[in-house]
A and B are shown apart, each in its own frame.
Chain A
Amino acid sequence: MNSFLQKSWKSLKAFPQMLLHDLEMLTNDLGNRASANSNPVTPSGLPNQPNHMLSAQPAIVLMSDSQRSEVNETSVRSEENQTPVRSRVIQIPAWGEVNQTAVWADENREPVWGEENRDPVPTEANRNPFLRVIERLLRLDLLRDAWETIIGHNDEGRLNSEIFFKSFLGLFQRDLRVLTREFHTFLLRVGMQPLLFLFVFTFILPRMGGANPMASGAGVDFGTIILPGLMAVAIMFSGIAAVALPLSSEFGITREIDDRVMCPLPLWAVALEKVCFSAIQSIIAALLVIPMAYYVPAVPVRAHVANWFLLVIVLILASLLAGSLGLVIGSTVNPKQIGLVFSIIVVPITFLGCVYYPWARLGTIPWVKYGVLFNPIVYMSEGLRAAVTPSVAHMPWWAILLALLFFTAALSRWGLRGFMGRVLS
């Protein structure tokens, strides 16, 4: 128990540390940037190293002589084989200074100059520092990698986008195969809890006579209040069951993850596939609650979707958020302690997640009202409340969407980091 707490604390501490690390990298870069500005391009005698961080291949362009003016030329011998290499920096108005190198085989003849190498993307040091903060925080480098993998140029050495999609689809179909084989157990797993909850609190209790103790003073019937809450819980539980539980066992005893990690896919894509597939399960689980809420309660639930667009967006974001949470748990928690995680993380965030009460009614206890804002489940239940039962007081939709986006980004960032740490040593 003690070691578990220590580990949890460690992993919690890792999150701010990660942000600090990003800031540190950033300040270093800013320093480099300053020195790079005061000290313009030095001819190195070696070809421009492509910037691997940006994963961009240099574009090779030939310019005519009239478009450039020579600035500086040096010649050096490369260290290994003593081949003379000449290097010059030329000025091209549209680009600024460009390095050019040539192998100088015959010392009496003019060397054959290579093509100008120029990164199509500005170098790391020259980019806007504020953009870089955002990039580091949100892992935009991964997004750029994704963009270039999917749409970008298929240079040699780069994954072909067709393979990328086929491989991603292959992983998806594998998960689909496993899910359909066990579809009835899936339905039981996600359906049992909301069904019993509705049965006890909206069917049995109202018939026992007297007011429902849990809904007293709520103004609206309890079924209407907990329908969105139960959808949120269904989403969260199936996100955790679909990502955290399989991942933690695959990382641990069975090592099954190895085969999927050896796919011709970047690692982030393997993790993303898990999250996306769990999102689909979450959406099914959430939609399953609606017919139950229609048939079970003694007092009809007053559901009314005013804005279908909002419902779709909230469902998708909440499901991705649940999948990301599952990714964090699955990749940072020791498989032996996954049960403990349920009692010390999953259950508290459910009960404090505005599932069984609307957030607006917490006004009488301000410290709870503002304390729960750190809980991502709050925005899942409030978002569904805004979409499915708008008659109940709820948070403004823009705040909900912003918070859902923020938590999805932060948790998936954290989860991806854990995933890559576990897979790659």
Chain B
Amino acid sequence: MKALIVEIENLTKVYESKLRVVAVDGIDLELKQGEIFGLLGPNGAGKTTTISIATTRTLPTTGSVRIAGIDVVQHPAHARRFIGVVPQFNTLDRSLTVFENLYFHCRYFGFSHADAKSRSLELLTQFMLSERKDAYPAQLSGGLAQRVQIARAIAHRPTVLFLDEPSAGLDPQSRLAMWSIVEGLHAEGITVLLTTHYMEEADRLADRLAIIDHGRALAIGSPGKLKQTFGVQTIFNLKLNSQQGLEPLVARLKAREDVTSAEATFDGLRVIGANSDGLLPELVQAAANLGLRDMQITEPSLETVFIQLTGRDLRE
């Protein structure tokens, strides 16, 4: 039984203004030592709010978060020593060079001059940033800045690293590089909590993940287990030339046992169901009369799990 590093209990956050917004609506999560945990959900699902409560930047309405056993509301300053954060935005200190960003971060966490210096140089080598050590953040590309931010976040050797949308705005190369960095940190034993709305990112990185929507955790488990439990369905997306006569077809499909849902989309039809023998031929046959021009079949994946749970496509 590994130690629990992050314990989130019945967390809620309600923003009371003209419009009452329930950002987080009773989330319970537990992160074990050394795992990568993904929070997967569409924009506005409450992922960032959850992270900012856990990183002491937002006060919860109810519930509690404990990091390494320390309550973040009661002892925020103490809890921050165990937290590393890579926020969604570039928050590097623009008045300092890359090296100084790392160096002073270490000093903030109580490192001596010598320790801070050697730790910063070590990180620059580890993250292949040595050449850019005297550059200012404004001179860095998005991918480089992200690497510096991750290096800075782990500089004080936190117990848990929070990555908020780490791949937002990165090109594919930088994203792959970021993934291998996170996998490297995982191998070193750091616990990671990351939010994302990229399925493949969650699938590749996370040991366990929680699918979140409307401030609630809809499902928690390893990607494989989630696919097994929820994702046995296949999604058929049909594009049709004509919408006429769609209603009876939808009704007929819904009556079938192996179809979970069938609905008209703006340019065709979406059917979610088991990929049984009879369904595909019947679909094609029926749709042929309506002018079938394209068809897309999505095999069981996190995306099908997600869509089944949240009832809509990911919004980017």
Q: Measuring CB to CB, which residues of chain A are less than 8 angstroms from any residue of chain B?
A: 52, 149, 157-159, 162-164, 166-167, 169-171, 173-174, 177-178, 181, 254-267, 269, 423-425
Contact = CB atoms under 8 A, between A and B. Distances in A.
B70 A167 contact: no
A166 to B, nearest CB: 4
Give the most central of A158, A166, A170, A259: most B CB within 10 Å.
A259
Query: Which of the listed residues B71, B85, B91, B111 has the most CB atoms from chain A within 10 Å of its own CB?
Result: B91
25 contacts: A149-B77, A157-B74, A157-B78, A163-B81, A163-B109, A163-B110, A166-B111, A167-B107, A167-B109, A169-B107, A171-B108, A255-B89, A261-B57, A262-B83, A264-B77, A264-B78, A264-B80, A265-B108, A266-B77, A267-B76, A269-B77, A423-B57, A424-B57, A425-B52, A425-B59
Contacts, number: 98
A173 B74 contact: no
A262 B59 contact: no
A173 B90 CA distance: 22
Interface string B46-78: 000000100111110000000000110011111
B3 to A, nearest CB: 16
Interface of B: 52, 55-59, 70-71, 74-78, 80-81, 83, 85, 87, 89-96, 100-101, 104-105, 107-111, 152
A177 B55 contact: no
Nearest to B104: A174
Contacts of A170: 104, 107-110
A254 B78 CA distance: 26
Nearest to A157: B75
A171 B111 CA distance: 12
Contacts of A171: 108
Contacts of A181: 95
Contacts of B76: 266-267
Contacts of B105: 259
What are the 10 closest A-B residue pairs judged by CB atoms, nearest first?
A: A170-B107, A166-B110, A258-B91, A263-B108, A170-B108, A174-B104, A264-B81, A163-B110, A178-B95, A157-B75
A177 B104 contact: yes
A167 B104 CA distance: 10
Contacts of A267: 76
A178 B96 contact: yes
Contacts of B52: 425
B77 A265 contact: yes
B96 A258 contact: no
A265 B76 CA distance: 8
B124 to A, nearest CB: 17
Contacts of B74: 52, 157
B175 to A, nearest CB: 22
Nearest to A259: B91
Contact of B58 (A166, A178, A259, A425): A425
B57 A166 contact: no
A264 B85 CA distance: 13
Contacts of B81: 163, 264
Contacts of A164: 77
